Amino acid sequence: MEDKVVLSAAEAFADIPHGASVAIAGFGNSHRFPSTLLKASRDPGAKNLTVYCNGLGSQGTSTAQLLVENEQISTLVASLSSRPGPPTLAEEQILAGTLDFEVVPHWILVERMRAGGAGTRVAQGKDVRHFDGRTYILERGITTYFAILRGYRADRYGNVQFRGGSRNSKNSFAEAARTAIIEVKEILEVGQLRPEEIHLPEVIVTRVVKTTTAVNVSSLPQRSSRPAGSHQECNGKPPLSRAEISRRAAAILDTSSVINLGAGPPNQVVNYLDGRDVVFHSENGMLNCGGFVDIDRVDPDFHDAGGNSIDVLPGVSFFDSVASFEIARGKDLDAVALGAYQVGSNGDHQGRPGGAMDLAVGGKSVIVSTDHVDSKGRPKLVQECSYPIAAAECTTQVITDLALRRHNDQGRFTLEEIAAGFPVEENLKLTTVDINTTENTDVMQEA
């Protein structure tokens, strides 16, 4: 068998041409991007690249943003163009029209890669078909010239092992590429990896190089968000804080249920369960994960979908993005907690593309936890969503800093609980949607 180890990242990337298509695996702000290969890919100076990725990662770190900074990308196909925080060069280039951008939600991107790797040709456009009373959109499979990935260990034949929750989309990206190049922490002799430790077989891998870019996990950028104890003042009074919203959402969850927590405010729910028997699913490929960990216990392969470093519990399992979204789409999640930009009066959910649309469609119940208004003071619960919706008529409960509202069988929300200091009449005046009320409305802090 061929020895696929190359001596340097520069050698691994020596043949990348102008106009090539490249799949770049990595997750969140900075988790397990192929940093050594990304740095080397700038040196050949290949331009007009078409890049496929979940997201570009954080600016100023060794992520796919390096190629944006070097003006090497002409077309970006990704689930996210940016993350909360200061504007990035990618956003500036998209707005200037020098970088074409196609939004493809995470699960659909992974499935299109998987279809491309399997040699599947589906619709040329986005044809609508109907099966068993349900509507489906057909998507084209994706194939690329190159895929650059980061693994944990590999042998000289190119058999690769991933670790923890860092597998996510890497199998699908490698399978869809003509040339799959992977950097790893450790290169072993053939036979040193046990068969059950091999997550990506050598026949799919073209080249292996050792990682030379060290990443200090304690300095990895974290998702920017308001502190848990903060709140937005309303009518001169303090509503619930982020922590109190999360605590109320945690109390809704049923014991012995399987839950997914979306990025942002819903992530905090895991810290308020007080030992209850709830199993958490993380979009990046983990089941039975725990709460946030202190900086001295950070492990780069144990993180949630928001990039927060988390604990793992007995019985934890790790898997790739295909299996992760099969859990969601297969209705195996009892509840999904998400943030939102808007929620329609009929339960429509509008949030970030990413994996939210698949989670919202797959959850047996969908709990939205968010502020009552956005940063410009506009209510998030609206009569009709003005942004493209992520999932239709799926929201079952909305928990904000002012109230808890539950969607009923008549297609309306009912005000069930209010924040202390914000009586029903004031709550209704602060809401632009017609809401049902109950005879006895509870106080959220006392529930």
Which residues are marked as active site? 283
The answer to whether residues 405 and 340 touch, using CB atoms and an 8 Å cutoff, is: no
Q: Where are the beta strands (DSSP E) in 225-268?
A: 257-261
Residue 291: name the closest of 311, 306, 273, 275 by CA.
Answer: 311
CA distances from 418 to 111, 167, 215, 428, 437 (A): 42, 42, 46, 10, 11
End-to-end CA distance of the chain: 65
Q: Which residues pair with 187 in a beta bridge?
A: 154
Compute how many other C-beta atoms are within 10 angstroms of the C-beta atom of residue 399: 27
Instruction: State whether the Cα torsion 232-238-240-241 is positive or negative.
Output: positive
The answer to whether residues 57 and 33 touch, using CB atoms and an 8 Å cutoff, is: yes
- Give the whole-angstrom CA distance, residue 204 versus residue 135: 34
Give me the residue label for tokens 């979204």.
Answer: 325
Spell out a b/e string for 175-198, using b for 16 or more CB atoms within 10 Å of the CB, else e: bbbebbbbbbeebeeeeebeeebb
Q: Which two tokens stand for residue 167?
A: 């597998």
Give me the residue label for tokens 């029903």.
Answer: 424
